[in-house]
Amino acid sequence: MTVPIECRQDETFVLNLGPQHPATHGVLRVKLTLDGEYIVEAEPVLGYIHRMHEKMAEDRNFAQFMPNTARMDYLHALAFNHGYCLVVERAAGIEVPERAEYIRVITVELNRLISHILWWAAFLLDLGGFTPLLYAFDDREQVLDLLERVTGSRLTYCYFRFGGVYNDIDDEFITGTYAFIKRLRSRMPTQYHALVTGNIILQKRLKGIGIITEEQSRRYGCTGPVARGSGINYDIRKNEPYSVYPEFDFDVPVYHECDSMARYMVRMDEMEQSMRIIEQALDKLPDGPVKAKVPKILKPAEGDYWASVETARGNLGHRLVCDGKKNPYKLKLRSPTFCNLSCFAEVSEGMLLADALAFMGSLDLVIPEIDR
């Protein structure tokens, strides 16, 4: 429920939400002008965790920058690995072995799953529900064990290499992945949907709250679940296919309600689609090498290159400018969460503070990716 601007009183006050407030999920500051509990104006303020990643890319060779990618979106780090590899491989004309492409998809989709699971847990914690977090972390730990087995890490992955992946997956990883998908599917109807999705408290907090119209979504450049929750059927994996995604049968969940509940449902449905993709990739997994022969020091030809991937939060674009030397001349990232956050000021105007926090949680913000 919102209060019309003409009905508001003249007495307002300023409240700083963040940069250390837990509801902002990172060092994000939102300067709020409030009339009672209603938001008159919201101004996101960035810059508290800026680390100059794009500038750092100019100061090291192509391979040395790879660990940086995981430090931006640490919840879907493998997608950032993937996007950076794609643009460099296009620039250098590197062909990736088929088995490596399948492994990339399997690990990226597993990482997408646990990104959505962690969002689900943190989102519900923001709304006052603690128990779902325990179920979510129980499931998430299963995937972290699997990914640690092949990547050596549990969060900031640096597993991909130009021309493939660091090492191959084994039978134990494959068996464990099948077992996890079976386990998660059995838990989704009860621990996720019956306990939470169908809960009347959750529905009252999300339905009709944080309406981002299709026009607003397009105007601000929203992508990912935020755009698909506003009725926009756009997914890079389908609309601008890359890697071996065209080999798999999966759907793109789209909801037209445009509210926080719609964005919630998109992510819940995407978890099922990721499981479908992983199963198909494991079933079709070809034999062969997992890494092409690539020079240790790459010097791509002069040119301007672009590659996009679909992260858990939307369209991640890499623009790479090369000048024939061992370091990138320029690397610019198109961050999905930066665009998704941009609509917050307009949409939250007139909203209750408590509803605005629920709305912000539905955007699934990762601040180091915005403020890189």
Decide: helix, strand or coil at residue 158. Answer: coil
pLDDT above 60: residue 2:
no
Helices and strands of the chain, counted as H and E runs: 15, 8
Decide: helix, strand or coil at residue 236. Answer: helix
pLDDT, tens digit, 9 for 90 and up, residues 165-204: 999 999 999 999 999 999 999 999 999 999 999 999 999 9
Decide: helix, strand or coil at residue 19. Answer: coil
Residue 41, domain extent: 5-370
Record the tokens describing residue 187, joined without a space.
């838990």
Q: What is the mean pLDDT of residues 291-318?
A: 95
Within its chain, how far is the Cα of 130 from the centroid? 23
Counting the structural domains of the chain, the total is: 1
pLDDT for position 21: 77
CATH code for the domain of 223: 1.10.645.10
> Distance (Å, rounded) from C-alpha 226 to C-alpha 67?
28
pLDDT band, very low/low/confident/very high, at 5 (cuts 50, 70, 90): low
DSSP state of 24: G
> Distance (Å, rounded) from C-alpha 80 to C-alpha 76?
7
> Distance (Å, rounded) from C-alpha 143 to C-alpha 230?
30
